[in-house]
Structure 1
Amino acid sequence: MHIDPNWRILTIGDGDLSFSNALLQHYAPTQLTATIYDPLATLENKYGDDFYRQLIANNCQVLTGFDITQPETWSEINRHSFDLVIFQFPLVPGFTSKTEFNDKCAGVGINTLNRRLLRQFLINSSEQLLDPAGPQLCYITSKDVKPYSEWNIEHSLILNTDINYLGEMKFDIANFPGYRIRNVDRDKHVKDTKGITYVWSPRPESQVVQALSSQLVQPPILGDDCCHYCQAGPFTSEQHKQAHESSRKHLRMKDFEAQWLADLNIT
């Protein structure tokens, strides 16, 4: 993950605030605002408030009860004032009961709910949080395992928007000493699997973005002999293609994409 200390940085949904604290301690950005979804009392009960206190002691703004999908929770933040907004390992919180699942999902699958969260993050960050005069960067760090790998992050999130996907770079947790990747809803941290930081900007022509592009890996260009759902191919024969299209993985990914396009009202 590339961090410029001169950037004004906003972190979203930083569970126990360990990422924001590591970012502050080891990169010392000009301005850092950290946010968590939980209210302060929940943070204290789940994880303790050590990182919260450290950030406050270092004059870092920390906002609790901040929901990136609900602008009405942003009353304490300055709009259009950031160069970079970061969302680390986002995941829709688990459901406590079947009733809650049915109420919140309303016939929509968990895969689509997670894509909605990431899409709303990108749209709200681009339109309301990033400074139009700055580099206007959005980072999402995710994993290469299920369910994260089934969201088609590179291609599906910015359909019918003016946001541009720029590429990906490795996320090395060793560069953020003290950072713990937390399980949603629990006070446990998870195994450090491979992390990938995906990068977007509504302003791809800016000098900062152009300079950053040399550090990014671009997605492969898939032809007609490839599977765009699974990012697989090229296929060596028609038999090879048919075998893939009848596979369980392909049918699952095809269904996820169909649900997502229906949710966006794209035919």
Structure 2
Amino acid sequence: MNFQQGMAVLTIGDGDFSYSLALARILKPQLSKSTVIATSYESRETLQETYPRFEDYSRELASLGAQLYFNVDATRLAQTLPIVAESKFDRICWNFPCTAIAYGQDGQNDAMDKNKDLVRQFVKDAKDLLSDCGEIHICHKSKPPYNQWGLEHVALEWLPLNSFIFAGKVVLDRFLFPPYRPLKALDRKSFPCHDACTYIFRSAKRSDAEAFSSTICEEEVGTKMQTVPITEDIILSLRRNLLQDASQKRRYKVKRKTKFRR
């Protein structure tokens, strides 16, 4: 997904903040010039009550130098995100945006118009917070009914004509972002995301000479992509990240069992 150290990244509505943590581990804001701002529409207290891993993740985020903000409205960022006035972001990411619907039926057809308006207003608001090389990343499932949202078109409908473009989409492989697990809004249950894609939007005026390269490069379209060989270092890095996540899960299960036995 082309996240590079030195970037300023803003995450929106990140459930238990596991995606933000994955990015913070990559960008290492404490040790580099990167910035990671993790936000939630909910209060900190609500997240503590809902998501069992939230406290662990928030502590690690803080130790990595990330900043956490709560009660942030994706459609009113200028009014609800305190640091927004002096900030510009290279990536603004919102995974699985949807309005809150009862009984876990978020994102279904009967709420499609509300969800489309949610995306339209978010992009309209977020575009002003982008750096010159900035991108908006919206990740969502690509099977019905979600593919009927028409994200690549809907996101641009409230913007001036030809000011912003849909650059393309990238398949989401959540295993590249440990410990990320997509979760339902205000529900600790996860859901399958094997069909999910990240839709990339950026300014139509972006220059190829910007500080960070595009997630999707136009010159690569229709050409054979370079194959990167798997090295021992890559395998060891993947193994280390996956084992770290598995170890955390085991500790959490033991902790819960001990708690219930008392």
TM-score by length of 2: 0.71
Q: Following the alignment from structure 1 to structure 2, what is the Cα–Cα distance between the partners of residues 172 and 50?
A: 23
Gaps of 5+ in 1: 97-107, 219-267
Report the counterpart of residue 94 of structure 2 in structure 1.
87
Of residues 138, 141, 162, the one that matches 1:140 is 138
Match of 2:14 in 1: 14
Does the Cα contact within 8 Å between 1:12 and 1:34 map onto a contact in 2? yes
Cα distance in 1 for residues equivalent to 2:144 and 2:114 = 15
Check the 8 A contact 1:167/1:216 in 2, yes or no.
no
Q: Secondary structure at the match of 2:136?
A: strand
Change (3 A) 1:53 1:214: same
For residues 163-242 of structure 1, the aligned pairs below 5 Å read 163-207=164-208, 208=210, 211-214=214-217
Offset at residue 195 of structure 1 (A): 1.8
Give, in whole Å, the separation in 2 of the partners of 1:20 and 1:76.
17
For residues 1-267 of structure 1, the aligned pairs below 5 Å read: 1-28=1-28, 30-48=34-52, 49-70=55-76, 71-95=78-102, 110-127=111-128, 129-131=129-131, 134-161=132-159, 162-207=163-208, 208=210, 211-214=214-217
Task: Quote how far apart the aligned CAs of 1:84 are.
Answer: 1.1
Q: Which amino acid aligns with 1:42?
A: T
SS in 2 for 1:136: strand
1:72-104 Cα offsets, whole Å, 9 max, x none, are 2122434442111011111211147xxxxxxxx
User: Which residue identity does 2:171 align to in structure 1?
Assistant: K
One-letter identity of the residue aligned with 1:158: L
State the distance in 2 between where 1:202 and 1:147 align: 28
- Which runs of 5 or more residues in structure 2 are unaligned? 104-108, 222-262
C-alpha distance after superposition, 1:44-67 (max 9, x if no partner):
000142111111122211001111
Q: In the aligned structure 2, how far is the partner of 1:12 from the partner of 1:160? A: 20
Give deviations 1:150-191, integer Å, cap 9, x for gaps: 101112221252221111112111110110110122111112
Give the 3-state SS of the residue equivalent to 2:10 in structure 1.
Answer: strand
Distance in 1, matches of 2:42 and 2:71, equals: 5
Contact 1:136 / 1:203 at 8 angstroms: preserved in 2? no
**Partner deviation per Cα, 1:220-263 (whole Å, 9 max, x = no partner):** xxxxxxxxxxxxxxxxxxxxxxxxxxxxxxxxxxxxxxxxxxxx
Matched residues in 2 for 1:91 and 1:121: separation? Answer: 11
Does the Cα contact within 8 Å between 2:120 and 2:158 map onto a contact in 1? no
Deviation string, structure 1 residues 185-204 (Cα, Å, up to 9, x no partner): 21111123222111111244
C-alpha deviation, 1:27, in angstroms: 3.8
| Cα separation, 2, equivalents of 1:141 and 1:126 | 16
Report which stretch shifted further, 192-201 or 73-82: 73-82
Per-residue CA deviation, residues 124-152 of structure 1 (Å, 9 max, x unaligned), is: 1112x213xx3021110111123321101
Q: What letter is aligned with 2:216? A: S
Q: CA deviation at 1:40?
A: 0.3
Closer, same or farther in 2 for the Cα pair 1:168/1:216, shift >3 Å? farther
Question: Quick check: 1:183–1:189 contact (8 Å CA) kept in 2?
Answer: yes
Partner Cα separation in structure 2 for residue 51 and residue 90 of structure 1 = 21
